[in-house]
């Protein structure tokens, strides 16, 4: 069902929604950007509709809402192991199609991979409803090449234009709320149909790519800072670590914290042995995971084409250029 | 509440056996059902968690042979019988017992790589592993690094056990050299009916496996056990991923034909 709701009315609707949900959306954090005097556009909990930024891509993805940067698994006291029990409200996330689609990858790892569901992820994930935002594409995006430009997985769609908000509500539970504030109207989501960047993902990548000299360029350029994996909406690696509290060393907790295949120590075992010491090898590992390894395991591409890894890279390393090179090399091999 | 796979269980230390200066075997009281080649996540609250392979098991107990090399293992070595630590698992596939049935088996182990195969060897020793024959090749850095000395002695009375060390010492009368040399010197009868298990440090596994291939053992008859950094053991943390494979789920034991496809 579609609705047209005037801005002031939508603010009221939002207020009512906020009574039942924690709402996350793109917002501006003043002067917190990557360079001096720049703002950071990122996901955070929002209090009012006017805080939401509708016309910019967020630097970080929404993944930390369901997969926090640091998450307590257990609290330890002297003689007990306790699971965190805090109960929260349900969650609403305002997101574009690519970001909603990125949750498929998170679900695949946390809910499908291996014999167990991850209970910490599931507890947060099952509380999430999405409000889809329209998108006209941004710099470095290539979602249309991956099919992640569209989605059906949303409870409502919200498009703010001029003095009104045009909505489509799919969630039956929400229809009453929307109809209270708006008049019925024909609304269909607006998606990017073509990005400025087009890209062909190679269908088959031979193991010959492992030895290819293309990676040496990344060994020279990549500094191993891990930003690409931190901003990626589909990177899910973590390390489990224990801490003891300073004020009472008999108490502490077991946590998981985000880990990155680009940063030293990712594969290092006790005794010092590890794998993939060169940054080029780590770039190869990351890129092949995004466009090949994951798909072999789960049947769909991990990369959603949001371009955040490129936006964040201080060395201007471009995933789409890298994918393009791999395509060319594979096409060349086909000919031979 | 969904079952929490990260929740560890407390287990009491029944006995501690010193193997070398830095390797100790902890015998734990537990009813966990494990298979040879599987591993556990072992932890001490407030210190951390680490994947450790099961070195042996029996009625109501299992053994973990642990080298003092990291934060968690250091802390474990401060514990005494009667103390407790935490375990969860078992994880991983273990050795393919059904594929070994009625075959000749050669096990090549390097250093602490002997730990994950120890239970398999003991099953053969106790006549509960249905294989035609067993031969063990074990390599250690030095005579002081030899693990399970009394077992090796016991085993050698029942089946061929060859031990070599990288560096000898004054009193060492045995062989000096790499495990690869032991393989090169083998005279393998019934090549097609022979299965091989190789466990040890990465380079040892690489060259030892190549040596077996030179001996005309089919790559489908060779099994390797991988060692990787792992945080979860259940396919979530991503540390052990190689290509589309998770070592904690599909491994740590791989047929060599698969292992050669797993490039780091």
Whether residue B54 contacts residue B42, with contact meaning beta carbons closer than 8 Å, is answered with no
pLDDT attached to residue A259? 97
Q: How confident is the model at residue B199 (pLDDT cuts 50, 70, 90)?
A: very high
What is the reported pLDDT for A336? 77
* Segment B8-34 mean pLDDT: 96
Q: To which H or E segment does residue B164 belong?
A: strand B161-165
Is A207 in CB contact (< 8 Å) with chain B? Answer: yes
Q: What is the pLDDT of residue B2?
A: 61
Does residue A308 sit at the B interface (CB-CB below 8 Å)? no
CA-CA distance, B21 to B140, in Å (whole number)? 14
Number of continuous H segments (helices) and E segments (strands) in chain A: 10, 12
pLDDT at A58: 96
Q: Are A308 and A239 in contact (CB under 8 A)?
A: no
Q: What span, in angstroms and rounded, lies between the C-alpha atoms of B86 and B63?
A: 14
CA-to-CA dists, residue B14 to A138, B34, B84, angstroms: 62, 18, 9
Asked if residues A137 and B258 have their Cβ atoms less than 8 Å apart, the reply is no
Residues of chain B found within 8 Å of residue A239, distances taken between Cβ atoms: 231, 237, 239
pLDDT above 70: percentage of residues in chain B:
99
| Nearest-angstrom CA–CA distance, A102 and A233 | 6
Give the C-alpha separation, B41 to B53, whole Å: 9
Of the candidates A76, A93, A86, A14, the one whose C-alpha atom is nearest the C-alpha of residue A47 is A14
What number is the average pLDDT over the span B170-184?
A: 94
Task: Decide if A255 touches B, using CB distance below 8 A.
Answer: no
Instruction: Please give the Cα distance from B119 to B123 (Å, whole number).
Output: 6
For residue A118, what are its two tokens?
Answer: 């991850």
Q: Please tell me the distance in Å from A215's CA to the nearest CA on chain B.
A: 14
Chain B's closest residue to A120, CA to CA, is B4
Give pLDDT, residue A1.
84
**DSSP 8-state symbol, A79:** S
Contact between A109 and B8 using a beta-carbon 8 Å cutoff: no
Contact residues, A window 124-143, toward B, CB-based 8 Å cutoff = none
B175 pLDDT more than 70: yes
**CA-closest candidate to residue A150, choices A92, A98, A93:** A98
Q: In 3D, which of A84, A87, A125 has the Cα closest to residue A106?
A: A125
d(CA B76, CA B47): 10
Residues in chain A: 336
* CA–CA separation, B194 and A79 (whole Å): 51
Partner-chain residue, chosen from B73, B236, B263, that has the shortest CB–CB distance to A110: B236
Q: Whole-number mean pLDDT of chain A?
A: 94
Distance of CA B259 to the CA centre of its chain: 17
Q: Is B9-91 CATH 2.60.40.1180?
A: no
Query: 3-class SS at A41?
Result: strand
Most A-contacting residue of B49, B71, B235, B252 (CB-CB within 10 A), to test interface: B235
Q: Which two tokens stand for residue A36?
A: 């001096």
Pick from B10, B67, B229, B240 the residue to mutate for testing the A interface (most A CBs within 10 Å): B229
Rounded Cα distance between A256 and A240, Å, is 4
Asked if pLDDT for residue A143 goes beyond 80, the answer is yes
pLDDT score for A290: 96
Answer yes or no: do B4 and A113 touch at CB < 8 A: no
Sign of the torsion angle spanned by Cα atoms B213, B218, B221, B227:
positive
Nearest CA in chain A to B73: A270
Cβ(A82)–Cβ(A254) below 8 Å = no
Tell whether A75 is within 8 A of chain B (Cβ).
no
Q: Which of B4, B49, B227 sits opposite A240 (nearest CB)?
A: B49
Q: Mapped to the 3 state alphabet, what secondary structure does B105-162 carry?
A: EEEEEEHHHHHHHHHHHHHHHCCCCCCCEEEEEEEECCHHHCCCHHHHHHHHCCCCEE
Q: Could you tell me the two tokens for B44? A: 């001490």
Max distance between CA atoms of chain A, in angstroms, equals 67
Question: Are the beta carbons of B70 and A249 separated by less than 8 Å?
Answer: no
Q: Are A159 and A122 in contact (CB under 8 A)?
A: no
Task: Enumerate the domain spans of chain B.
Answer: 9-91, 97-259
Distance from CA of B30 to the nearest CA of A (A): 19
* CB–CB contact B228 A276 (8 Å): no
Average pLDDT over every residue of A153-173: 95
User: DSSP alpha helices (H): ranges in chain B?
Assistant: 71-76, 97-100, 114-125, 149-156, 179-184, 202-214, 247-250, 256-259
How far does B169 lie from chain A, in Å, by closest CA? 24
Chain A residues with CB inside 8 Å of B2's CB?
A: 117, 119, 122
Pairing assessment for the beta strands A238-244 and A252-258 based on DSSP bridges: antiparallel
The ipTM, to two decimals, is 0.94
> Residue A251: is the preceding peptide bond cis (ω within 30°)?
no
How many residues does the structure list for chain B? Answer: 264
| Binary contact (B49, A242; C-beta < 8 A) | yes
Cβ distance of A271 and B244 shorter than 8 Å: no
- A107 close contact with B: CB closer than 8 A: no
Check whether the bond before B252 is cis (ω within 30° of 0).
yes
Q: Among B68, B12, B44, B5, which Cα is nearest to B236's? A: B5
In the β-sheet with B161-165, what is the strand arrangement from edge to edge? B175-176, B161-165, B133-140, B104-110, B194-199, B222-225, B253-255
According to the model, what pLDDT value does residue A273 have? Answer: 87
Does the domain at residues B97-259 carry the CATH identifier 3.40.50.80? Answer: yes
Summarised one tens digit per residue, pLDDT across range A8-66 is 999 999 999 999 999 999 999 999 988 889 999 999 999 999 999 999 999 999 999 99
Nearest chain A Cα distance for residue B54, angstroms: 17
Instruction: Out of A207, A237, A242, name the one closest to residue B46 (CB).
Output: A242
pLDDT-derived band at A252 (thresholds 50, 70, 90) equals: very high
Q: Which residues of B fall within a CB distance of 8 Å from A275?
A: 264
3-state class percentages of chain B: helix first, strand second, coil last, to nearest 5: 25, 35, 40
User: Could you say which of A119, A237, A289 has the minimum Cβ distance to residue B2?
Assistant: A119
Query: Which residues in chain B are contacts of A119 at CB distance < 8 A?
Result: 1-6
Q: What's the rounded Cα separation, in Å, for the pair A256 and A74?
A: 10
Mutate to test the interface with A, among B46, B91, B234 (most CBs of A within 10 A): B46
Q: Do B48 and A109 touch (CB under 8 A)?
A: no
Both tokens of residue A146?
Answer: 């991956």
The answer to whether the CB atoms of B4 and A119 lie below 8 A apart is yes
Contacting residues of A for B47, CB less than 8 Å apart: 242
User: Hey, which of A100-109, A160-169, A198-207 has the most confident mean pLDDT?
Assistant: A100-109
Residues of B in contact with A269 (CB under 8 A): 227-229
Instruction: Answer whether residue B1 shows pLDDT above 60.
Output: no
Interface test with A, best of B83, B244, B257 (most A CBs within 10 A): B244
In chain B, the largest separation of any two C-alpha atoms, in whole Å, equals: 62
Among B118, B125, B114, CA closest to B157 = B125
Q: Considering CB atoms only, which of A113, A261, A271 is closest to B235?
A: A113
User: Are A238 and A68 within 8 A, CB to CB?
Assistant: no
- CA dist B11 and B159 (Å) reads 34
- Residue B52 with chain A: CB contacts under 8 Å: none
Average pLDDT over residues A129-146: 94
């Amino acid at each position: 069902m579609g609705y047209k709701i005037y801005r002031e009315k939508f603010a009221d609707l939002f207020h009512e929604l906020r009574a039942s949900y924690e709402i996350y959306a793109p917002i501006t954090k003043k002067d917190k950007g990557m360079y001096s005097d720049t703002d950071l556009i990122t996901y955070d909990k929002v209090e009012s509709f006017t805080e939401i930024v509708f016309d910019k891509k967020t630097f970080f993805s929404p993944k930390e809402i369901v997969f926090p940067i640091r998450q307590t698994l257990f609290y330890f006291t002297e003689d007990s192991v306790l699971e965190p029990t805090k109960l929260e409200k349900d969650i609403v996330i305002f997101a574009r199609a690519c970001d909603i689609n990125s949750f498929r990858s998170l679900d695949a790892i946390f809910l499908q991979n291996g014999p167990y569901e991850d209970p910490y992820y599931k507890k947060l994930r099952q509380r999430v409803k999405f409000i889809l935002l329209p998108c006209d594409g941004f710099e470095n995006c290539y979602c249309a090449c991956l099919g992640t430009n569209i989605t059906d997985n949303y409870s409502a769609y919200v498009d703010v234009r001029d003095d009104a908000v045009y909505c489509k509500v799919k969630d039956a539970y929400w229809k009453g709320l929307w109809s209270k504030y708006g008049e019925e109207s024909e609304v269909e989501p607006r998606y990017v149909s073509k990005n400025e960047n087009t890209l062909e993902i190679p269908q088959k990548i031979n193991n010959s790519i492992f030895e290819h000299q293309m990676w040496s360029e990344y060994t020279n350029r990549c500094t191993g800072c891990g930003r690409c994996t931190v901003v990626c909406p589909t990177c899910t690696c973590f390390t489990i670590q224990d801490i003891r509290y300073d004020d009472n060393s008999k108490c502490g907790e077991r946590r998981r914290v985000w880990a990155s295949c680009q940063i030293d120590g990712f594969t290092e075992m006790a005794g010092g042995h590890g794998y993939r010491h060169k940054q080029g090898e780590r770039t190869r590992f990351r890129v092949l995971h995004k466009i090949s390894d994951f798909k072999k395991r789960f049947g769909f591409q991990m990369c959603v084409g949001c371009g955040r890894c490129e936006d964040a890279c201080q060395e201007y390393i471009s995933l789409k250029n890298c994918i393009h090179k791999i395509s060319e090399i594979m096409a060349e091999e086909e000919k031979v | 509440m969904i079952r929490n796979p990260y929740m560890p269980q407390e287990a009491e230390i029944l006995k501690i056996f010193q193997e070398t200066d830095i390797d100790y075997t902890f015998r734990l009281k537990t009813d966990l059902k494990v298979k040879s080649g599987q591993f556990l996540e072992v932890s001490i609250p407030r210190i951390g968690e680490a994947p450790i392979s099961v070195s042996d098991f029996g009625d109501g107990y299992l053994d973990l042979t642990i080298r003092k090399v990291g934060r968690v293992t250091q802390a474990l070595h401060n514990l005494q019988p009667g103390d407790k630590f935490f375990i969860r698992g078992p994880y991983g596939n273990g050795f393919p017992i059904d594929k070994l049935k009625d075959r000749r088996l050669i096990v090549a182990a390097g250093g602490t790589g002997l730990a994950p195969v120890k239970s398999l060897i003991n099953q053969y020793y106790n006549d509960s592993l249905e294989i035609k024959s067993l031969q063990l090749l074990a390599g250690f850095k030095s005579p002081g690094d030899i693990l399970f000395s009394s077992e090796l002695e016991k085993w050698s009375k029942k089946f061929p056990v060859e031990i070599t060390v990288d560096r000898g010492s004054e009193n060492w009368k045995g062989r000096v050299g790499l495990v690869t040399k032991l393989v090169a010197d083998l005279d393998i009868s019934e090549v097609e009916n022979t299965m091989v298990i190789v466990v040890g440090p990465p380079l040892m596994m690489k060259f030892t496996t190549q040596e077996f291939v030179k001996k005309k053992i089919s790559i489908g008859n060779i099994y390797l056990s991988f060692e990787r950094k792992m945080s979860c053991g259940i396919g979530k943390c991503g540390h052990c991923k190689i290509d589309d494979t998770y070592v904690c789920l599909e491994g740590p034991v791989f047929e060599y034909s698969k292992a050669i496809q797993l490039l780091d």
